[in-house]
Structure 1
C-alpha cells in the first residue's frame, strides 16, 4: 500500500483504538487523540489516498482560492462548482446561521455578505503572505524565517471560523523545498485527505516557480478526531487498507510551462494539474459536521 495510505490509516486506527470520546461545540461527539505527527516524502509519489477516492480538482481550487486568489468570497468557489465553504457563507443580512436550524451563530456587518469574514484568503491578501514567501525563496534560499501564519489575533473575531491549518514553515535543503504544516484541529475522515493533497500540490507549484525540487512535508496535528457518525466509514477504509490488493501511488503532473504562481490555472477545469496513474478503491461518504 502507498506510504500515505499507511500513515493515514495508522492514524485512524490509533484514534479508534486509543482515542477518548468527548463533547464539542458541534453537538456531535468525537473520538480524539491529543496530537499526531507524520512525514511524507514527495519522492515516494503524490499523497492521494488509494483506500478511497480523492477529488483533486476541488482540493486544488480551494488552496488556490486561499493562496493564489487570496479571496474570502465563497462565490469564487461556487462559480467553479466547489461547495466546500457553502455552510460557512455569511448571508446577505450579515448573519451566519446554522444551516439546519436557522439559528444565528455569528453576526457581521452586511458588507461581509458572501464571504467567510477576515479568514484565510483575507489574511493572505492583507499581509501579502504568498508574495513574501516566493520572493524569499528566490532571493534567499537559506532564510530560516519563512513562517506563513493565518493565525492573526486581530482578525479572529471577525472571521466565521479560525483557521484549522493555521501555519506553515518552509525551508530549502540541498535544492529541495520542504514544508512543515501545523493544524490545530483535524477532522481525519473528511479534512485531512483534502488538506494533505492541497499542501502537496502547493509545495510542488511553489517549488516549480522557484526552480527547486519538491521535498518533504512534516505534518503536526493537535486534536486529531473522528466524529462518531463517521466511525463506520472509517472502519471500512481501514478494512480496505488491510485486506484489499495494493494500489500504486499516483504521480502529479504540473504544467511545466508555468513559471509564475499566479499563472497556474484556477478556472473550473483546473487544467494546470492532474493525477497520473491514480487507482483507488472507490468513494466513501462521511458526515460533514459544522
Structure 2
C-alpha cells in the first residue's frame, strides 16, 4: 500500500496540520480493518510519514482539537528521570498512564476499584504504589539506564552500570556531529515482557547539518486519534531541548509510523476532527537553559499563539 501522504511543493505552503488530517482521513476511509491486541479493532495502514519545520519556535501542536501540551511535557520530563512508577506522574495530576496498572490490579485482585480511587491510593500509599504503580522498565528507564550485565562466574551474570543514552547522545552531537549513530533506542528485546506496554515511539535518530539539529522518530504502532498528537509534541520538544543543550538551531522533525491506525470506537472523534480546519501557528519558547537536559522544569516552557478548537474525548484501548 502506498503512503497516504506524499510531500509535494504545494503541500509545503499548507498549514502543517493538514498532513495529520490527511493521514487520519486516509486511514478511516481506506485502511484495512484488523483485529488487534485490545479486541477493539482498528482501521490500519502500514507506513506513513509527516514532516515539520521547527525553526522560529514552530511546533507540531494540533489545533483542530485541544492538545494538553503541559501534560505531554510533564510526561517527557518524567521519561528523562528514568522513572517507571505512575505515582511520580499522579502527584502532578497526570493520569495518562493509569489504565495499564489499573487493569492489572483489577485482574489480579478482582477488585473493581474506580480509576479515581486507585489513583488516590497510589498517591497516598507509598507501599501500594510500589506494588501496583510500577510499569516495568518502560521508555525513560531504557533511555537513561539501559541495563548491562557482567560475568560473575559459574555461568552467572551480575548487573553492570546502566547506559545513559541521553547523555551519550548529547556528547556525540557536540563532539561528532557528522555521526550516523545519533540514536536513542527503547526496544530492549530482553525486557519487553516486563513492560506494561512495549515502547510505541521506539527509535529516535538525529542529524546535524548546517548548524541545525534535525530529528526523526520511528513509531512501530500509532494510535492516530489519541496518541499521535501527544507523540508529535513530545518528540519535537525533546528535539528542541537537545538543540538548546548542544548549541544547535532546531531544524526539521520527521515522524515515521509502522502500523498506523484508528480504533473503531473513535468514529465520533474522527468525524468531528475532520470537520474542523487548522488555525494559527503556535510557538514554543524555552524560557531557561539549565546546565543539563535533566534539569528542565515545566515552568521553563511557554507556548504562545495557541487557540485550538475544543477537546474531543474518546476511550483509550488498553
When the two structures are superposed, what TM-score results if normalisation uses the length of structure 2?
0.80
2:158 aligned partner: none
Shift in Å at residue 95 of structure 1?
Answer: 7.5
5 and 112 in structure 1: CA distance in 2 versus 1, 3 angstrom threshold: same
**Secondary structure at the residue paired with 1:80?**
coil
Structure 2 counterpart of 1:4, from 6, 11, 16:
16
1:194 aligned partner: 230
1:64 aligns with 2:92: no
Q: For residues 126-168 of structure 1, give each alpha carbon's deviation from its aligned partner in whole angstroms, at most 9, with x where no partner exists.
A: 2211111111112221221112110011111211111000001
Q: For residues 99-144 of structure 1, give each alpha carbon's deviation from its aligned partner in whole angstroms, at most 9, with x where no partner exists.
A: 9799xxxxxxx97642111221221232211111111112221221
More helix by share: 2
- Equivalent pair of 1:20/1:33 in contact (CA under 8 Å): yes
Shift in Å at residue 83 of structure 1?
Answer: 0.6
1:229 aligns with 2:265: yes
Q: Bigger CA drift: 42-51 or 75-84? A: 42-51
100 and 11 in structure 1: CA distance in 2 versus 1, 3 angstrom threshold: farther
1:21 aligns with 2:33: yes
What is the root-mean-square deviation in Å for CA atoms of aligned residues? Answer: 2.5
1:253 aligns with 2:277: no
1:275 aligned partner: 303
Shift in Å at residue 3 of structure 1?
Answer: 3.0
State the distance in 2 between where 1:134 and 1:15 align.
36
- Equivalent pair of 1:90/1:96 in contact (CA under 8 Å): no
State the distance in 2 between where 1:99 and 1:182 align.
38
Q: For residues 165-188 of structure 1, give each alpha carbon's deviation from its aligned partner in whole angstroms, at most 9, with x where no partner exists.
A: 000111111111011111011000
1:150 aligns with 2:186: yes
When the two structures are superposed, what TM-score results if normalisation uses the length of structure 1?
0.87
Structure 2 counterparts to residues 174-185 of structure 1, below 5 A = 174-185=210-221
Aligned length: 274
State the distance in 1 between where 2:78 and 2:249 align.
24
State the distance in 2 between where 1:120 and 1:97 align.
27
Shift in Å at residue 222 of structure 1?
Answer: 0.8
State the distance in 2 between where 1:115 and 1:248 align.
39
State the distance in 2 between where 1:10 and 1:99 align.
43
- Equivalent pair of 1:4/1:47 in contact (CA under 8 Å): yes
- Equivalent pair of 2:82/2:141 in contact (CA under 8 Å): yes
* Unaligned stretches of 5+ residues in structure 2: 1-12, 115-128, 146-162
Structure 2 counterparts to residues 125-140 of structure 1, below 5 A = 125-126=144-145, 127-140=163-176
1:213 aligned partner: 249
Q: Bigger CA drift: 189-198 or 73-82? A: 73-82
Structure 2 counterparts to residues 10-159 of structure 1, below 5 A = 10-43=22-55, 45-66=58-79, 68-89=80-101, 113-126=132-145, 127-159=163-195
Rg bigger for which structure?
Answer: 2
Shift in Å at residue 258 of structure 1?
Answer: 2.8
- Equivalent pair of 2:138/2:196 in contact (CA under 8 Å): yes
Shift in Å at residue 97 of structure 1?
Answer: 8.1
Q: Bigger CA drift: 256-265 or 4-13? A: 256-265
State the distance in 2 between where 1:39 and 1:99 align.
45
Shift in Å at residue 12 of structure 1?
Answer: 0.3
